[in-house]
């Protein structure tokens, strides 16, 4: 099999974000047997790059090298038109590194609201990468986008990051969606579906 990854193969997931893990597992279903890198005592890789794809690839290679397994990684963030694409790759730490994840989310959201005026167009971007081994010369790469705008105030509790502020055309924020609906239409869902298509296509060659 040319791809080296088939359904039910064990894959290390290069993330320590529990919300992201739940989303990916729900979307992937039985496609992969996902093993969290934290359960293998693998530290998170640094994300020093200026693009989502470079960060995702770096994380995937790091996890694969440490686990001796194929690795799945993603890098994602919120891109706001009026801010020139910011916070972008800096989404997780837009208002600094201090505090736990929930505290950072609250500060990030507060900073974003303070910086915006009338133009509130935005989109989520997710780049997902699968490597078969650490030096894989042909990693599988897929991108998903999710368009919306920034609400005037936070709404909803079923999400993380900027989800309470990410307003969709249906009038709901991402944090007001049921998990099943979000996993059907999100940027991460779109990227993972494209990645699974690439896996199946590679398996046929």
- Nearest CA to 139 among 127, 149, 150, 151? 127
**In 10 A of CB 92, how many CB atoms?**
17
User: Which residue of the set 74, 75, 136, 163 is catalytic?
Assistant: 75
Terminal Cα-to-Cα distance of the chain (whole angstroms): 7
- Strand, helix or coil at 157? coil
**100 to each of 24, 69, 103, 107, how far by Cα in Å?**
22, 29, 5, 11
Quick check: is 81 catalytic?
no
Alpha-carbon distance of 186 to 23, in angstroms, equals 10
Alpha-carbon distance of 68 to 91, in angstroms, equals 30
Alpha-carbon distance of 80 to 83, in angstroms, equals 5
**In 10 A of CB 85, how many CB atoms?**
15
Residues 180 and 27: beta-carbon distance below 8 Å: no
- Where in the sequence numbering do the catalytic residues fall? 75
């Amino acid at each position: 099999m040319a791809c080296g990854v088939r359904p039910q193969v064990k894959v290390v997931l290069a993330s320590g974000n529990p919300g992201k893990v739940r989303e990916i597992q729900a979307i992937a279903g039985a496609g992969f047997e996902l093993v969290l890198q934290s359960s293998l005592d693998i530290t998170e890789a640094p994300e020093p790059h200026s693009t989502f794809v470079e960060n995702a690839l770096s994380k995937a290679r790091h996890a694969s090298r440490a686990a001796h397994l194929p690795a799945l990684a993603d890098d994602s963030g919120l891109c706001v038109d009026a801010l020139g694409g910011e916070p972008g790759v800096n989404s997780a730490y837009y208002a600094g590194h201090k505090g736990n994840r929930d505290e950072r989310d609250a500060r990030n959201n507060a900073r974003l609201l303070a910086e915006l005026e009338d133009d509130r167009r935005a989109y989520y971007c997710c780049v997902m990468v699968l490597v078969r081994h650490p030096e894989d010369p042909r990693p599988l790469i897929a991108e998903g986008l999710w368009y919306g705008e920034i609400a005037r105030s936070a709404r909803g509790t079923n999400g993380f990051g900027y989800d309470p502020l990410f307003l969709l055309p249906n009038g709901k924020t991402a944090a007001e969606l049921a998990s099943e609906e979000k996993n059907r239409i999100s940027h991460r869902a779109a990227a993972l579906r494209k990645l699974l298509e690439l896996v199946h296509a590679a398996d046929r060659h």
